[in-house]
Chains A and B, each alone.
Chain A
């Protein structure tokens, strides 16, 4: 099976803190990988390195572009988005004073082209593109079930809907790889259930997903493959069953001695 993303010995240091220490794993195309670990394990830091927000202190991040695999470590966020890596944020970062639709239109930014002169002169091409942006954005909103709220202010949405909107905004950039950072956090059981359906629907669109999630039941039910981080170190990797029974993982989550209890 093809590898879409290869993390190769990545370290990230913040002053004296090793947030990631020599982490390596591969993400297979078309599958869903779960990235788990206790608080402060370095999961979000890993996403930030992949998405171009942090430059890894060491190691390579190899992304499989159409033209072949390239080391993308140290690329800027907008370059990563352009290449086909989109992400959501653990602490929701929507454009709160803008309508829902505009959030998705902005998410689609890198798949459109009109600039200053197009806007000022309202050229034919510009008008056509604007029309298309609305249509396409509405399709993404429909996909996540927010079509009817398109013109509401995005900060007025419920917590669960805000998380869905973040997913729609990320999808609008037509990613090949989607990084979801705790999408179920703060959701009630019904919302979580429909999120699972949404993630399955995203997978059917041939988008590879990496999922950070604290809800173990959720992760174990939808991920075929898991990577476990603790204190910046990869402590285990494998299928849900292996991970659940791995003594090191149990120890990391429940504290020393728990594995033997």
Chain B
């Protein structure tokens, strides 16, 4: 109704000082709210887009060897990448993350560092390349130097690292590290660039071209390290993506099919690995009587069925070899075994199988991944319904999908009980592997919530008191309007409208204030060398990321709070008996 609105707005202007005071309080509250929200969004942005990308990806696929998480290696890289590409519907990028602890010897100084592979060649998206260059702004040298052939192992390091190593551009440093096979290695690297990292996380890495690093660390051409997958909208897609990947990564039975050779004789044979954890051994013994009467775990022990042994003239203690086609193509490869025992004939398993213990099995299997055997050619491949199946080696071990960091770490700790040399493949999302960072984000949301509560309080106290004062002053006016024939609910609405508009204007002013404040604050250069807080800064500046949606949602929330708060005093005013309100002995 026009007249009510007119009266409300004019009254807001009439009681200027009081309304200005309350309006300023609401505006400041709103400004704090918008800024807190933008700040926590900004930090989320830093955490997710600028840090998480380098420490875990949205989804990562890890390949843990022998329970050592630092030793990440999978020797069928193309297949793995193909499988990921087929399973995860939308992928922004898949990056190979190789980080190797090393000791760097500089000019009369040494320091620890992580050698990190940088994959500039596969980064074709110019926006992400620019992003990368913003995160690591080069002071000296250039990114192109990493590809230079005339420098010995060119590296990029942070200005702090350069200082601590007392080194300069084009100096040659020595690094010591363990390669993927566990051998100690030393190499010479050349400083080809010095960068200023955007945040504290990026101080320790020493960057090399990924190909170069893989070569130094002993990775073969089809070997890969841990993979970091970045996807759009990870909040929604990371966990379903990881779950889908987990299903697709269910490991098939591992086997090699070829010729078993002994003293010039040869027979087709399937090599199957068997698991050596106590539960599996017990199960196998029950299935196959006499299987391991006096079996001891030797490095390349095999058990051979009686028919196969007889046809080749094999006895316990003999050395035989299996020749099989590798997956990579090319000539057949040979694995050599010692026969521990010839097993008695049994109806429970076919004659042409050699049973290889877990360790011996994976040693040859991963060295030269066999091309997948076909049962049409006579290979023995028990399917998943076979009672043998649970005790046989798979191509890898698939770790359970865990829901928390604790669960993930517990599962990793349990891994040695399997006594397996298989690679343990895990598909954690950032929510499990980087839960600390995620928790920080929750904490930031709490800050915003705190701001909402403060604002709530300001509105509660401010609106109620202002309205009470206003009503007291305008009691006679209320009485007059009621006498003229204004209904109770109109009187109530008139006061509600006043609070509503005061809050609305104040919110707008607050938003403007917030933007001005953020603009000013982000201009300030903050020096916080070595302080942990600087991980929340972007190149030494506070990083705000206002969200339109967030702001748009706060407004109705605050208006609703104001309206609800104003409701009761307004209703009290409306219910005043007119004669009393008119001051007849009121």
A binds B: no
Spell out B's residues near A (CB within 8 Å): none
Spell out A's residues near B (CB within 8 Å): none
